[in-house]
């Protein structure tokens, strides 16, 4: 699967000072105002478009109903004076008062999705925010076609944009920002590729192998534990969840050594989740191919931290298992001994993610990290509480709030949630140290986080991100998000690592 091993499938991104003679489409931004649509940014337009051309553009856009509404798209023939351009696509930015990097990213993504078949696109959106524009175009142009035969492969006019040139005022301007944006977008795309790969082709051993290949290619330290090594070391949670499948579990550890501060990342890697003996309904079960999105995100983030040479140490501990019903599967009522010795009564085998995460979090704690962040598509309750686009962020209060704030700043919408003390008693078991679920459905996202808190080392700043909805888009495309894996929360994680590195 070269789509995962080599992210060369996104559009080529480059900076340019001129529109050029081989431009298929010029993409411009249009803002809404009381006086009608306006072209932005005005200062950059003055260097590449004459006043007469700008007037003609606005006249034509007004004639086709352009208003500058956020993410509105209008495509018109290039006016006189743009002889080297085939057509112009105007994308709405909303009002200037509300314009921020995330809106630019979304508008660029919408433009990218509207321009399939274009060989070369030039955009002036870079004059507003070069990095956001680059990320939006790259991610908006993302497609996953690895399993399409010639019968359904995209036709030439359906292929994503091949190249996007971002207009800049002078040679060398924005190169550093563009490089970082490209690497970040590639990391998000890597996470998307993992999530979109079907479970027939991404089972635990294969997932670990592909992650190992990427990590070793980046020069990182890798350790993979197979089922025998997991049993010898006492990883009862990972083994318990994986014992119902003919495809045994794995645990992979990837370490980037960049500095004295240590951050542990843990990601849920359930390559497919039937619910086990507590089986899920058949309807929409195919979406459980996304139940390893947390693992995909932390692997991609660790690789990105290395590529950006961040001055800190990042270690990803990723448990991988397939949760299947069979004669060998764990049963409701079974008791597991987690890595580290805590015993857990399994009340519901569909609450499996917390069992494998608990093992991984204890192992991650043995590295004595300063910070621990776990990411998981953990509960349906996350979507009940916050919808499908807002991750829940729980943990130690100061770090929780910091992660949630950073998540909103980068456009991934994390929202801080409490860990009510009264819910903890509902996880008591009559036969073991803990039960894996509460005996009711109230506050399910919070109860799951309270379970995980039992496995967080003392004096470690901890954040838990529940991305059950945000990691996988089952609806129509929007902004720079297509259907399927979204790559959330890679951009949150790398921004948090950045903040820690500069403390």
Q: What number of CA atoms fall less than 13 Å from residue 11's CA on the CB side?
A: 34
Judge whether residue 3 has pLDDT over 70. no
Looking at residue 44, its pLDDT comes to 66
Mean pLDDT of 8-15: 84
The number of residues making up the chain comes to 503
Q: In Å, how far are 285, 322, 331 from 244, measured between CA atoms? A: 17, 8, 10
Mean pLDDT of 195-211: 98
Report residue 156's pLDDT band, with 50, 70 and 90 as the boundaries. confident
- Distant-in-sequence, close-in-space partners of 100: CB < 8 Å, separation ≥ 6: none
Tokens of 278: 């507590």
Question: Who has greater pLDDT, 146 or 342?
Answer: 342
Q: What pLDDT, in 10s, does the model give residues 242-288?
A: 999 999 999 999 999 999 999 999 999 999 999 999 999 999 999 99
Do 25 and 86 touch, CB atoms closer than 8 A?
Answer: yes
Do 463 and 473 touch, CB atoms closer than 8 A?
Answer: no
CA distance linking residue 377 with residue 466, whole number of Å? 6
Q: Whose CA is closest to 456, among 353, 304, 313, 342?
A: 342
Judge whether residue 1 has pLDDT over 70. no
Q: Whose CA is closest to 89, among 104, 101, 105, 72?
A: 72
Q: What pLDDT, in 10s, does the model give residues 95-133?
A: 999 999 999 999 999 999 999 989 899 999 999 999 999
Report residue 45's pLDDT band, with 50, 70 and 90 as the boundaries. low
> What percent of the chain has a predicted confidence (pLDDT) above 70?
97
Looking at residue 47, its pLDDT comes to 67
Rounded to a whole number of angstroms, the CA Rg of the chain reads 24
Question: Who has greater pLDDT, 46 or 221?
Answer: 221
For the domain covering 187-501, report its CATH number.
3.40.630.10
CA distance linking residue 348 with residue 170, whole number of Å? 61
Q: Which residues of 463-478 are buried (b: 16+ CB within 10 A; e: fewer)?
A: bbbbbbbbbbbeeeee
Looking at residue 5, its pLDDT comes to 40
Q: What pLDDT, in 10s, does the model give residues 47-99?
A: 678 888 889 999 999 999 999 999 999 999 998 888 889 899 999 999 999 99
CA distance linking residue 81 with residue 502, whole number of Å? 48
CA 206 to chain CA mean position, Å: 21
Q: What pLDDT, in 10s, does the model give residues 402-429?
A: 999 999 999 999 999 999 999 999 999 9
Report residue 20's pLDDT band, with 50, 70 and 90 as the boundaries. confident
Report residue 487's pLDDT band, with 50, 70 and 90 as the boundaries. very high
Q: In Å, how far are 290, 338, 381, 464 from 488, measured between CA atoms? A: 12, 28, 18, 14
Q: Residues with catalytic annotation?
A: 280, 354
Judge whether residue 11 has pLDDT over 50. yes
Single pTM value for the model: 0.96
Looking at residue 6, its pLDDT comes to 44
What residue ranges of the chain are covered by domains with CATH 3.40.220.10?
2-173
Looking at residue 21, its pLDDT comes to 80
What residue ranges of the chain are covered by domains with CATH 3.40.630.10?
187-501
- Specify the CATH number for 2-173; select among 3.90.1150.10, 3.40.220.10, 3.30.450.40, 3.40.50.620: 3.40.220.10
Where do the H-state alpha helices sit in 326-376? Answer: 353-365
CA distance linking residue 124 with residue 257, whole number of Å? 39
Q: What pLDDT, in 10s, does the model give residues 427-473?
A: 999 999 999 999 999 999 999 999 999 999 999 999 999 999 999 99
Write out 443-472 in H/E/C secondary structure. CHHHHHHHHHHCCCCCCCEEEEEECCCCCE
Do 222 and 13 touch, CB atoms closer than 8 A?
Answer: no
End-to-end CA distance of the chain: 39
Judge whether residue 346 has pLDDT over 60. yes
Q: What pLDDT, in 10s, does the model give residues 284-311?
A: 999 999 999 999 999 999 999 999 999 9
Q: Whose CA is closest to 130, among 4, 232, 16?
A: 16
Where do the H-state alpha helices sit in 41-129? Answer: 42-48, 51-63, 101-114
């Amino acid at each position: 699967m070269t789509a995962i091993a080599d992210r060369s499938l996104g559009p080529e991104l480059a900076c340019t000072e001129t529109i050029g003679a081989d431009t298929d489409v010029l993409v411009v931004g249009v803002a809404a105002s009381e006086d009608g649509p306006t072209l932005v940014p005005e200062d950059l337009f003055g260097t590449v478009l004459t006043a007469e051309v700008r007037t003609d553009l606005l006249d034509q856009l007004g004639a086709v109903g352009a208003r500058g509404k956020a993410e509105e798209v209008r495509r018109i023939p290039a006016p006189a004076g743009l002889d080297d351009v085939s057509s112009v696509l105007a994308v709405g930015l909303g009002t200037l008062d509300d314009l921020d990097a995330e809106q630019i990213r979304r508008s660029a993504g919408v433009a990218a999705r509207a321009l399939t078949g274009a060989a070369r696109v030039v955009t002036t959106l870079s004059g507003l925010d070069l990095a956001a524009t680059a990320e939006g175009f790259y991610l908006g142009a993302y497609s996953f076609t690895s399993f399409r035969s010639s019968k359904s492969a995209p036709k030439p006019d359906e292929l994503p944009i091949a190249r996007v040139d971002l207009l800049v005022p002078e040679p060398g301007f924005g190169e550093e920002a563009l490089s970082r944006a490209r690497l970040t977008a590639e990391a998000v795309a890597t996470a998307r590729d993992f999530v979109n790969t079907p479970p027939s082709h991404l089972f635990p051993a294969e997932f670990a192998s592909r992650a190992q290949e990427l990590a070793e290619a980046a020069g990182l330290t890798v350790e993979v534990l197979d089922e025998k090594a997991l049993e010898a070391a006492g990883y009862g949670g990972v083994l318990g969840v994986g014992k119902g499948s003919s495809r045994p579990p794995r645990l992979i550890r990837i370490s980037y050594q960049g500095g004295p501060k240590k951050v542990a990342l843990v990601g849920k890697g359930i390559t497919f989740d039937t619910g086990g003996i507590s089986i899920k309904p058949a309807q929409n079960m195919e979406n459980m191919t996304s139940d390893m999105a947390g693992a995909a995100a932390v692997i991609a983030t660790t690789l990105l931290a290395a590529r950006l040479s961040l001055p800190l140490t990042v270690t990803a501990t990723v448990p991988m298992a397939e949760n299947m019903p069979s004669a060998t599967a764990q049963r409701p009522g079974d008791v597991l001994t987690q890595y580290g010795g805590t015993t857990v009564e399994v009340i519901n085998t569909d609450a499996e993610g917390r069992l494998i995460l608990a093992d991984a979090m204890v192992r991650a704690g043995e590295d004595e990290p300063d910070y621990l962040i776990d990411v998981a598509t953990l509960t349906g309750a996350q979507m009940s509480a916050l919808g499908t686009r807002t991750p829940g962020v729980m943990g130690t209060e100061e770090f929780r709030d910091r992660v949630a704030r950073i998540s909103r700043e980068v456009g991934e919408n994390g929202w801080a949630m409490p860990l009510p003390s009264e819910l903890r008693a509902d996880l008591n078991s009559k036969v073991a140290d803990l039960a894996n679920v509460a005996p009711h459905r109230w506050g399910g996202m919070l109860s799951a986080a309270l379970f995980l808190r039992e496995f967080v080392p003392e004096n470690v700043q901890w954040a838990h991100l529940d991305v059950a909805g945000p990691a996988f888009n089952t609806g129509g495309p929007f902004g720079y998000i297509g259907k399927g894996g979204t790559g959330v929360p890679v951009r949150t994680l790398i921004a948090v690592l950045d903040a820690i590195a500069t403390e």
